[in-house]
Amino acid sequence: MSRGRSATPGTARRHVRQPVRKGLAVVVAAAALVAGGGAGWFASGGVATPAGAVAGTGPTVTAPTTVPVDVLAHDATRERSSGVSRGGAERDVPSVDPTPVVAPSDLDPGLSAGAESVPVVTLPPGLTADDVAAGLLSDDVPQHASGQLVVVPGSQSGPGTGKVTRIRVEVEDGLAVDGERFAAAVMATLNDRRGWGADGSVSFERTDGDADLRVVLASPDLVDRMCAPLATGGKVSCGRNGHAVLNLLRWVEGSPAYGDDRASYRHYLVNHEVGHLLGHRHQTCPGAGRVAPLMQQQSYSVTPCTPNPWPFRDD
């Protein structure tokens, strides 16, 4: 996890274990040639104060695979947008659009030695390019880590002409997370043309200083304390008191409603919890077979609606 200034914190696919060591590194190698070309629950109440740091052990990394660096775009999902926002307004914010993975086995051995080389990233076992783009360095989920939050350093201007809302991104110290990639994924989601700013009402910028809202990635135990008095049970996330607290368990595992599409579920998680901070309350499914409104709870089930991670859709 990228280090920054400390901040006071206000299921089945992967095993929940005891705390991981503070940083797994993503190994970068230059070698490949390119071939041919929670339910988010809304809560109210006070924030519990976290305890001190808890020591832990780290996971063993074996049998890595590699993909080019350029596929690790922070907003890798399988959806494409036409670029027209609700109400017909055109925005200069790109829709999330993945880049195909080119593994070394896909390369043409007949390419000349003078061809341009592409740096490749070694993926930790059990992770996809989408997972790494979301900031994950391991698929382990510690039940608790240090209990202390670290502000991801850096800033980013907001696109569009809406009211500027300043976002500070924080990650619990001790998690196997690349803070900069996580922050990039959060901001790409918030400023996507299908996001909350699609109607021109808001534009999100990132800061590591004073902020209007905070987006926090934390272990299940810290989520429970920050979301209290809501009983999140170590399983889900919340948006309250100016912070969207995202549960690492959900960030790693996704949701049964989204199946293997964890990238889309992560868009939902960010948009849903920040939606609460913007004043939006839960909605219900409008009817069987209909697209779920974003503010419908989708972390466990979305039936009889179909999943939807965006507040505004192009269709």
CB 172 within 8 A of CB 52: no
Across the range 286-308, mean pLDDT stands at 97
Instruction: Tell whether omega for the bond before 220 is within 30 degrees of 0, i.e. cis.
Output: no
Domain annotation covers residue 310: no
Confidence class for position 118, pLDDT limits 50, 70, 90? low
> CA 299, 304, 306: angle at the middle one, nearest 5?
65
DSSP one-letter string for 38-93: --PEE--SPPPPP--------PPP-S-EEEEGGG--TT--S----SB-GGG-B-SP
| Domain range enclosing 15 | 6-277
Convert the pLDDT of each residue in 37-83 to its tens digit: 333 334 433 333 333 333 333 333 333 444 444 444 444 434 433 33
Total structural domains in the chain?
1
Mutual angle of helices 179-190 and 262-277, in 10-degree steps: 70
Q: How much is the pLDDT for 314?
A: 84
- Whether the predicted pLDDT of 162 surpasses 70: yes
Domain annotation covers residue 301: no
**Could you give the percent of the chain with pLDDT greater than 90?**
58
- Flag whether the pTM goes above 0.85: no
Average pLDDT, the chain: 75
| H-run or E-run covering 224 | helix 220-227
Q: How much is the pLDDT for 140?
A: 96
Q: 151-173: buried (b, 16+ CB within 10 Å) or exposed (e) per residue?
A: bbebebebbbebeebbbbbbbbb
CA–CA separation, 25 and 137 (whole Å): 7
Domain annotation covers residue 184: yes
Q: How much is the pLDDT for 231?
A: 86
CA–CA separation, 229 and 48 (whole Å): 9
Domain annotation covers residue 169: yes
The more confident residue out of 216 and 16 is: 216
Q: How much is the pLDDT for 309?
A: 98
Distances (CA, A) of 313 to 81, 221, 255, 265, 282: 8, 34, 21, 15, 18
Confidence class for position 100, pLDDT limits 50, 70, 90? very low
CA–CA separation, 156 and 131 (whole Å): 22
DSSP code, position 7: E
Across the range 291-308, mean pLDDT stands at 97
DSSP one-letter string for 226-259: HHTTS--TTT--EEETTEEEEEHHHHHH--GGGT
Domain annotation covers residue 236: yes
The DSSP bridge pattern shows strands 149-151 and 28-33 to be unpaired
Domain annotation covers residue 300: no
Domain annotation covers residue 19: yes
Q: How much is the pLDDT for 160?
A: 76
- Whether the predicted pLDDT of 240 surpasses 80: yes
Across the range 2-13, mean pLDDT stands at 45
Convert the pLDDT of each residue in 199-239 to its tens digit: 999 999 999 999 999 999 999 999 999 999 998 999 999 99
DSSP code, position 198: G
Q: How much is the pLDDT for 268?
A: 99
Among 10-19, 96-105, 125-134, 211-220, which stretch is predicted with the lowest mean pLDDT?
96-105
DSSP code, position 291: B
Domain annotation covers residue 128: yes
- Whether the predicted pLDDT of 84 surpasses 50: no
Convert the pLDDT of each residue in 121-149 to its tens digit: 688 999 999 999 999 999 999 999 999 99
